[in-house]
Amino acid sequence: MFDTNRRPPDRTLLALVLGLSVFGLVMVYSSSFYIAVSEGNPQTYYLLRQLAWMLIGGVGLLVAQRIDYRVWRRVALPLLAFTVGLLILVVLLPDHISGSNGAKRWIRIGGFQFQPTELAKFALCVYLAAWLMTRGDKLKSMTAGLIPFGMVLGLFCGIMYLQSNVSSAFMLIIIATAIYFAAGANILHIIAGMIAAGTLGSLVIQTLGHAGTRLKVFNDPWAYPRDGGWQPVHSLYALASGNWFGRGLGQGRQKFLWLPYAHSDAIFSVIGEELGLIGTFVLVGAFLLLAYRGFRIAARSQDPFAALMAVGITSWVTFQAFLNMAVVSSLIPFTGQTLPFISYGGTSLAMCLFAMGVLLNISKHVDDQRPEPVVSPAVERPAARPPARRPISLVPNLAALVRRRNRGPRVSGAGSRFSFARADRRAEVAVSGRGWRKYSSTSKPAATRRTSGKRVSASQSGGTWRSR
């Protein structure tokens, strides 16, 4: 169960996650001390609760970083069933236990509260990675690929509909689509699925009163300045008043009960007001770097399960971050998704740290090189020494990724390192027999002859090989 690999994890990713978490503590205190006092609590009320969850998540990160990632493949189905059970339980519980802002998201027991949708994001990553890696060429089929995938995703989205939790359903769709694409799905299937999901989603939103109201507010927030448009308007006020360098840490004004949920959903507005445009750019850059490191781990992973897991976890954290930023900037309608590692929210912080621990464990295995198969006709020799590590260039691989279309998994190449190139479909024959190398590319019947005193072996399929 515990990983015996002694290689260090991705230190850049680890430092980035810890830095974001500590910065989150600072911003939670800056944006919540007045809210805590207005509620009759000490100034540090929300800070201490966030710190407690950060310690829990930190322990989870250390434990997950020590657990071999292959364990998650064996528990994928039980984890999925357990998560679905918790989500259904949220629907069945009364509103005073599970309700919040028109949606049912929580399980509250005394002073403890837990949001199962955060666990659902991780469970979906694990299950889809374990399931899609076994599909192979079946993934290109509509009946064996798209339809079963849609049924799994539809199960989660149906439960989210019963919870009136549209934002979490949207996040689950993003995570699942990223994994489905990385597994090698047909692009046309993905486009067809997105069109169908968009059509169905527009019909569903019309049946949910609060979702329809948010769309109206998004179109013109200043038409509802004292109702649904209150938060979008003051979020924009906070961002606009920050200018280039901000008012200074702790000097923001909108957090004094003008901006609702300043310490949770709208904390990016407080960052913009107090640290300015430069501060927001630095934060965006940090999440872009996190995305690069995460997808780089996926690209270098030999195991398709590890690669798909890395794609899912990285997509979860980064897309949720940019979704929160887009909401605060009024680029998309209001949703209740937190800013990972930054916003106040115990379950979100703990699960994001735990997921990063799994990603760090995967990063420890990216250089576990298997012997490379050699496409050769006749002779054998020991496997070549694994090549040295080399950085992955972004633009050429991205161009090759687009060209690859639906020719197979986009996260596992033919060799031991990641490659977007199409895998060689020729038969792989292990080559042993030191001192043999390819001499020509002619295709001749298998034969043996002597040329200038040297023994030469001709091949039916791979050309001529000769001794050194």
- The three-state DSSP-derived secondary structure of 343-409 is CCCHHHHHHHHHHHHHHHHHHCCCCCCCCCCCCCCCCCCCCCCCCCCCCCCHHHHHHHHHHHCCCCC
Tell me, what's the pLDDT at 432? 39
The span from the CA of 418 to the CA of 158, in Å, is 36
Rounded (5°) CA angle 123-125-129: 120
Q: Which residue has the tokens 């020799």?
A: 381
Among 66, 183, 55, 164, residue whose Cα is nearest residue 125: 183
In one-letter notation, the amino acid at residue 275 is L
The answer to whether the beta carbons of residues 33 and 42 sit under 8 Å apart is no
The answer to whether the beta carbons of residues 406 and 140 sit under 8 Å apart is yes
Q: Chain centroid to CA 247: how far?
A: 33
User: If you average pLDDT over residues 262-291, what whole number do you get?
Assistant: 93
Helix (H, G, I), strand (E, B) or coil at 253: coil
User: If you average pLDDT over residues 275-284, what whole number do you get?
Assistant: 94
Model confidence at 397, in pLDDT bands (50, 70, 90)? low
Q: CA 215 → CA 15, 333, 338, distances in Å?
A: 39, 6, 19
Tell me, what's the pLDDT at 365? 86
Residue-wise pLDDT for 257-275, tens only, equals 888 888 888 899 999 999 9
Q: Which residues contact 345 (CB under 8 A, 6 or more apart)?
A: 53, 115, 264, 338
The total number of residues written for the chain in this structure:
468
Model confidence at 224, in pLDDT bands (50, 70, 90)? confident
Residue-wise pLDDT for 403-460, tens only, equals 444 455 666 543 333 333 334 444 443 433 333 333 333 344 444 444 444 444 443 4
Higher-pLDDT residue of 1, 38: 38
Which of 16-20, 200-204, 366-370 has the least mean pLDDT? Answer: 366-370
Distance between the two ends of the chain, CA-based, in angstroms? 47
CA atoms 67, 73, 74, 78: torsion sign: positive
How many C-beta atoms surround the C-beta of residue 101 within 10 A? 10
Tell me, what's the pLDDT at 408? 52
Residue-wise pLDDT for 46-103, tens only, equals 999 999 999 999 999 999 999 999 999 999 999 999 999 999 998 888 877 777 766 6
User: If you average pLDDT over residues 194-198, what whole number do you get?
Assistant: 87
pTM here is: 0.78
Could you state, in order of their start, the residue ranges of all structural domains in the chain? 11-363, 437-467
The span from the CA of 374 to the CA of 407, in Å, is 21
User: If you average pLDDT over residues 389-394, what whole number do you get?
Assistant: 46
The answer to whether the beta carbons of residues 370 and 416 sit under 8 Å apart is yes
